[in-house]
Structure 1
Amino acid sequence: MSVKVSVVVPVSEPGPDDDAFDACVRSLLEQSMPSDEYEVIFADDRSGDGTRERLDAVAAVRPNVRVLHLEHTGTPARGRNVGLAVARGEYVYLLGQRDRLERVALESMYRTAAETDADILIGRVVRGDNPPQRAFSRNRERADVLRDRLLGLPTAHKLFRRAFLDAREIRFPEIQPELSEQAFVLRAYLTAKVIAVLADQICCHIAPPPQEAPDPRAYAAGLRAILDIVDTHSEPGDARERLYAHWFRAGVLRLLGGRHLRTDQRGALFIELRALTAERFPEELDRHLPVHLRARAVLLRSGDLGRLVALGEAARGTSVRAELREVAWDEDTLIMDLAVELIGPDGAPVTFKAEGDRLHWTPPVAGFDLPAPLADVTDAVERARMEVYIRHQDHGLIFFIPVHGEVCRAQEGDRVRVWAVGRARLDVATVALGRPLRPGEWEVHVRMYTGAQQARTRVAGRRGAPLSCVGVLAGRPRRLVIPCWSEQRELSVCVEPRSFAESILLVSPGASVTHREGHVFVVLPVPYVPPSGGPPAELVLRQLAGRGRTITVPALVEPGVPGRFPGQLVAKVPVRRLPGEGHLGNGLWAPHLRVDGGETALRFTLEMNRGRARIQAAGEPGALAVRRSTLGRLLARLPGGRYAVRAAHAIQERYLPTPPAS
């Protein structure tokens, strides 16, 4: 049978303990496509860490695996080119040594490529906790490079028709590695007849990009090579100008606002990119840029490195304030009412200067003003928006949630505030591009774009407000879904908790206490109480200091109203001020829920002081600080103490001020 897909993986000394490389290899060997229909080509760059032997051992027992032993070059370009030269597949997929494929990736991508007769098939990729690119908003049989924002997907993680690459002699040039990959993809984009997008199937998980700063001269030379490709394969006009604007934005200006300006090479990088800008990027391109990048362009052309660095540092302080007003169920759909606003480094809302009917952005750098035409953001503010998405904690999958709302404005003097209010509707049966969510915990994130800047954050409940935690049986087949909360009161949605105890653990930051007749009643919300009433449960409290006493009391589960009010678990604990067995005394107590013989540590601590109890959530200001302390080391050795140490560390790092350096 002919080979349908060849996967080429350049390899360079991943090391014997590289879990990501092991996951990459496993993902290739465990594909759902029959092994005689695809091949894997590892192009080894003369690794000296035992990798060659490991790969040879795999190839010895896997007929569809080949290992190419190459001379050392230090870059993946030659390995990719040699792999492309010997590949036998109808299509070729390029993978990095720390990336991994979903099990159905090759089968799904090949089927879609064959159905659409695509020269290039872009299967959905995931990288860290970044929101998905807009190109993946839906499947596309005929995608356009500019209209569908394919330039935002510059890596080689795509299915390429091998005959197409050979006919156009498309190979990886020997330039800076990251730009070599982007030059390969750009040339393929600009010469392909059909580019298709597979959006409703996660295909590849991409490893984080390298963090080292590029060599300034080599980097500038690589950008020139990419611009030469644009000149060769496009005609003068609007399309070419937009291609140039993309590389000016992504290849030059973004580099001058990030970590690379905090390195020793920033001066050399600035000089090289300024020369390249004068040579290839005229001022006419600035109209295609967002306003903060227009400011960088002005400073770059004028040679003002100091203010450019200051502008980058100021932008790093921009954040989002997201107010979660309500969380409620509408049958099987979770409703989240939000108000979202960008906050500047000074803690004040980001505003724009009103001049007549126009709005202008003010650079947050003293002594620097943009010319009015460049500072005008009126049209961009019209496109301001809020976006809400969910991210799987374990797998990194991300999906956008539909949001219906509006952008609001308020004028205060000559300044205008812009914020967004909206209602996000999470339907767990369809939110995954028409499919149900897989089991697990999904974080809820929000991103705000104002027309000048954007930022994102986790959605969190307000301090002091009750945490909604009603669970429902949703979808077909029916599955338990509950809104739940982290130690910092950040919202997630859990699909199919693994047990009754886990469902209570996930919402335990919403615990409360009351006092009555010499007892403390510890009340925990229960997202969903089965018709059977749930299994018998006990609350176990362990003292985190002193004698380390343990108290175990029965817990009564009371049902709520499905879809409207949670049930509750109530435990009655005796209290005395003096130390003694079988009752609560002063100090910190770590709570656990015991169900069916197993124990689950809950997400809070119980503090007793002078006979009065209070819940101490991990995200609560004023919680016990134990970092690098004798008490912290003691707590870590006690049952349940590790949670208290971790909770206190989170509090101290998140809320308490850092002492000034001496």
Structure 2
Amino acid sequence: MGVKVSVVVPVSEPGPDDDAFDACVRSLLEQSMPSDEYEVIFADDRSGDGTRERLDAVAAVRPNVRVLHLEHTGSPARGRNVGLAVAKGEYVYLLGQRDRLERVALEMMYRTAVETDADVLIGRLVSGDNPPARAFSRNRERADVLRDRLLALPTAHKLFRRAFLDTRDIRFSEVEPELSEQAFVVKAYLTAKIIAVLADQVCCHLGPEPDGPVDPSAHAAGIRAVLDVIDAHSGPGEQRDQLYAHWFRTGVLRMLGGRRLLSARPDQRAAMFAELRELTRERFPEELDRHLPVHLGARAVLVRSGELGRLVALSEASRGTSVHAELRDVRWEDGSLILDLAVEIVDGQGAPMTFRADGDRLFWTPPLGDLTLPPQVADVTEAVARARMEIYIRHVDYGLIFFIPVAGEVCRSQEGDRVRVWAVGRARLDVDTAALGRPLRSGEWEVHVRMYGGAHQARTRVAGHRGAQLSCVGVLAGQPRRLVIPCWSDRRELSVCVEPRSFSESILLVSPGASVTHREGHVFVVLPVPYVPPSGGPAAEMVLRQIASRGRVITVPALVEPGVPGRFPGQLVAKVPVRRFPGDGCLGRGLWAPQLRVDGKETDLRFVLEIGSGGRARIQAGGEPGTLAVRRSTLGKLMSHTPGGKYALRLAQALQQRYLPSPPPD
């Protein structure tokens, strides 16, 4: 049987300590597809850091690995082109040196490509904590470039039929690397007979994007190369206009706003502005602005009028735009976790975004007071009608992201001529189906919310309000039954843990919710217990170690009391004697790091117990203001080597950064 898939990886001096590159290589060698059915081609750009020798050593023992030693160019384009030229596979996959494949990726993508007869197969991508592209909302046997928003997936991480690439003469051009990829992909998109999307299987984890200044002239040349491909493979009309508008947004206007513009030096700003203004005059006519969101339409007005200063001022005035999410309720219904939320876009001062009403039309008011936009640019009536919120979950360890269904509505209120817009909704998390119809992987999943409000889009973690009673009751859900626990970070951000590894871990997850009470010379430390098994759970002890003290340890029994299954959590109660003056077996003044001991194993809990003057105790958790101010002094160094002390040190430093004023600059 011939080679089914060739994987081409351009390599350029990753360095001997590059963990991402090592993970990339391992992921390629550990594919579930039989090794005689795929090949890996490393195209090395004359790396001088030992990479060539390392790859040669791998190829010496792996018959399906080849290493191409190329002359140095500093660009991945030549490596990819040479790799494509020597590839033997029916299909070719293009991977970066810091990306990694899931173990089943090649097998699943090849099978789907053959079943759909695809020239291009797009396997699901994961990129940091970014939510997935809309194209991955479901599998697609016949995807459309515009309807299915494939332009949001412009990188070369795809499975291409090799004969299709050869017949269409699709190769990488020697322009700026990122735009060389985009020109390659857009030509494939516009000339492919069939493009398919594999959405229900994560295939590739994208590595970090390279940092560094952008060469304005090289960037503009790359955009021109992409537009030349569009001109060659599409006729005048709506499709071409939308393709052009996409690169106007991503390649021009987003380069001239936000953090990218504000973090650049004045000379860099001026050079980029001059190049992209000239490009705008040359290739992006004003009629394309109807395809732009309103805040980018405002940038386009300033670019065309040559007002760099006001463009910078607009970005400054827009800083801090975010989304405010109010979590109103968390509860269980029929084995699903229900989240009730209200979500709204707010400005940098936390004030709700509003629009000016004029009859039945709504208009955006720029945050730059002296900027007046043409009515056709400022009109957001249709955009506000499409306002929505979305809820998604992200696996803490693996970066997998899935949207969960939300039922709700967009609300409006008017005061004078100003209209306020927000969304309310109810999200339902079913652990049996949340992974695109499949069960969720075990582990902790963060809950995020994203809102598009008509003028801006923003996202944040879902968090509860201070003082609100937040349920952490766990239930056995799904088939087979697995324990699922809603839990809260130190900042009261919501996560959901599927199948915690132990009874201790289930308590650890919710330990920021600890509380203390005093009675007759004792402190009662109370921890929520998300799920108490019918047996009552294993025997437990609480161990308290005094931070910055030599050997002071107190161990007391911990009683586990059951709650109401599915409604109220249980609790773990430890009774500890406390005295004003230190004594054996008694708490004294200072900081104490708690641990839970079950079956002889100790687990650090996510809070610190502080005993003050008079023996009064309080919980120091990251989610509430505190006054600790621990620096990297002798005390700090000692804490870092004390059980539980590293957490206390991080807590104290976080509290200091968040709540205490910074010292004045020198």
Which TM-score applies when normalising by structure 2? 0.98
The CA deviation at 1:636 is: 2.1
2:241 — aligned with what? Answer: 241
Residue 548 of structure 1 and its aligned partner are, at CA, apart by 5.6
Which residue of 625, 641, 660 corresponds with 1:621? 625
* 1:633 aligned residue (637, 640, 654): 637
Within 2, Cα distance between the matches of 1:343 and 1:582? 52
SS at match of 2:383: helix
Q: Secondary structure at the match of 2:234?
A: coil
Aligned-partner residue type, residue 649 of structure 2 = V
CA distance in 2, matches of 1:85, 1:347: 55
CA distance in 1 between partners of 2:229 and 2:660 (Å): 53
Q: Which residue of 344, 350, 356 corresponds with 2:359?
A: 356
The Cα offsets for residues 232-290 of structure 1, whole Å up to 9 and x where unpaired, read as: 10011111111110110111111111443222311111000000000110110000000
1:108 counterpart letter in structure 2 = M
Aligned residue in 1 for 2:431: 428
Unpaired segments ≥5 residues, structure 2:
none
Task: Choose from 365, 375, 378 the match for 2:378.
Answer: 375
| Residue aligning to 2:662 | 658
Alpha-carbon distance in structure 2 between the residues aligned to 1:364 and 1:18: 43
Structure 1 counterpart SS, 2:252? helix
2:167 is matched with 167
* 3-state SS of paired residue (1:254): helix
Instruction: Give 1:639 deviation, angstroms.
Output: 2.5
Equivalent residue number for residue 495 of structure 1: 498
The one-letter code sitting in structure 2 at the alignment partner of 1:509 is P
**How far, CA to CA, are the matches of 1:461 and 1:657 in structure 2?**
25
CA distance in 2, matches of 1:622, 1:521: 21
**1:182 maps to which residue?**
182
Residue 575 (structure 2) aligns with: 572
Tell me what 1:228 maps to: 228
The answer as to whether partners of 1:466 and 1:510 remain within 8 angstroms in 2 is no
Spell out the pairing of 1:345-494 with structure 2 (5 A cutoff): 345-494=348-497
| CA contact 1:213–1:260 (8 Å) conserved in 2 | no
Residue of structure 2 equivalent to 1:504 = 507
CA contact (8 A) 2:75 2:177 kept: yes
**Unaligned stretches of 5+ residues in structure 1:** none
Instruction: Give per-residue Cα distances to partners, 1:316-371, cap 9 Å, x unaligned.
Output: 31112111111111121001111111120122111112222221111111311212
Distance 1:406 1:548, change over 3 A: farther
Aligned pair count reads 662
What is the SS of the residue equivalent to 1:148? coil
Task: Give, as a single letter, the amino acid of the residue that structure 2 aligns with 1:123.
Answer: G
Residue range with higher mean Cα deviation, 464-473 or 195-204: 464-473
The equivalences for 1:261-276 within 5 A come to 261=261, 262-264=263-265, 265-276=268-279
**Pairwise CA distance, 1:630:** 4.7
1:644 and 2:645 are equivalent in the alignment: no
Compute the displacement of 1:656 (Å).
3.4
Q: Deviations along 1:474-523, whole A, 9 cap, x unmatched?
A: 11111111011111111100111111101000000111112222211111
Distance (whole Å) between structure 2 residues aligned to residue 636 and residue 159 of structure 1: 48
1:629 positional shift: 4.6
Amino acid at match of 1:127: S
Taking the aligned partners of 2:236 and 2:359, their CA distance within structure 1 comes to: 37
**Contact residue 444 and residue 493 of structure 1 kept, 8 A:** yes
Give CA-to-partner distance per residue, 1:405-427, whole Å, 9 cap, x none: 11111222322211111111000
Residue 623 of structure 1, CA deviation: 3.8
- Alignment partner of 1:516 is 2:516: no
CA distance in 2, matches of 1:622, 1:516: 24
Matched residue type, 1:605: V
CA distance in structure 2 between the aligned counterparts of 1:653 and 1:437, rounded to whole angstroms: 36
Query: 1:57 aligns to what?
Result: 57
Post-superposition Cα deviations, 1:287-327, rounded to whole Å, max 9, x if no partner, equal 00000000010011111111111222333311121111111
Query: For residues 516-565 of structure 1, what are the alpha-carbon distances to aligned partners after superposition, in whole Å with 9 as ceiling and x for unaligned?
Result: 22211111111111122111100111222455622110001111121111
Task: Give the distance between the partners of 2:643 and 2:187, measured in 1 at CA.
Answer: 60
Partner Cα distance (1:479, 1:418) in 2: 39
Where 1:354 maps in the other structure, the secondary structure is strand
Q: SS of the counterpart of 1:293?
A: helix
Q: Corresponding residue for 1:191? A: 191
Secondary structure of the residue aligned to 1:92 is strand
Q: Sort the Cα spacing of 1:56 and 1:545 in 2 relative to 1 into closer, same or farther, 3 A.
A: closer
In structure 1, give the amino acid aligned to 2:397.
D
Deviation at 1:633, TM superposition (A): 3.0
Aligned-residue sequence identity (percent) comes to 81
Give yes or no for contact 1:13–1:47 (8 Å, CA) kept in 2: yes
Task: Give the counterpart letter for 2:660 in structure 1.
Answer: L
Match of 2:615 in 1: 611
Amino acid at match of 1:281: F
Contact 1:260 1:266 in 2 (8 A): no
